[in-house]
């Protein structure tokens, strides 16, 4: 998989241990867990899926299998919704 980028229609915000994803196009808001927020913040147009897996593993002291499971499901869902793109 190539480099992942968050859609320009979306904005990530964090405050007081709350993590939110705003869809600027339709006004919807999604509450995220810490892992999802970190994964999405790494979808900056510079990181591949492998880069993100490695960084999340380091940051959360999680196994590759755990991270791949979380990342794979999240990436698949976000691609279907056009929230992220692959280049």
> pLDDT tens string for the chain (87 positions)?
789 999 999 999 999 989 999 999 999 999 998 878 888 999 999 999 889 888 988 887 788 898 888 777 878 888 898 889 998
pTM equals 0.83
Contacts of 76 (CB under 8 A, 6+ apart): none
Number of domains in the chain: 1
Smallest CA-to-CA distance from 6 within 55, 40, 47 is with 40
Task: Examine residue 87 and state whether it is found in any structural domain, yes or no.
Answer: no
Task: Examine residue 26 and state whether it is found in any structural domain, yes or no.
Answer: yes
Could you identify the residue written with the tokens 């405050």?
A: 15
Task: Examine residue 75 and state whether it is found in any structural domain, yes or no.
Answer: yes
Q: What is the C-alpha separation between 78 and 36, in angstroms, rounded?
A: 11
The boundaries of the domain holding residue 14 are 3-82
Task: Examine residue 78 and state whether it is found in any structural domain, yes or no.
Answer: yes
Q: What is the C-alpha separation between 68 and 75, in angstroms, rounded?
A: 10
User: Which domain CATH number covers 53?
Assistant: 3.90.930
Q: What is the pLDDT of residue 81?
A: 87
Q: What is the pLDDT of residue 59?
A: 82
């Amino acid at each position: 998989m190539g480099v992942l980028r968050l859609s320009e229609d979306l904005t990530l915000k964090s405050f007081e241990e709350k993590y939110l994803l705003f869809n600027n196009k339709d006004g919807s808001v999604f509450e995220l867990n810490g892992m999802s927020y970190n994964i999405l913040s790494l979808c900056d147009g510079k990181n591949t899926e492998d880069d993100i897996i490695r960084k999340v593993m380091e940051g959360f002291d999680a196994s590759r299998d755990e991270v791949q499971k979380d990342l794979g499901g999240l990436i698949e869902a976000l691609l279907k919704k056009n929230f992220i793109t692959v280049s």
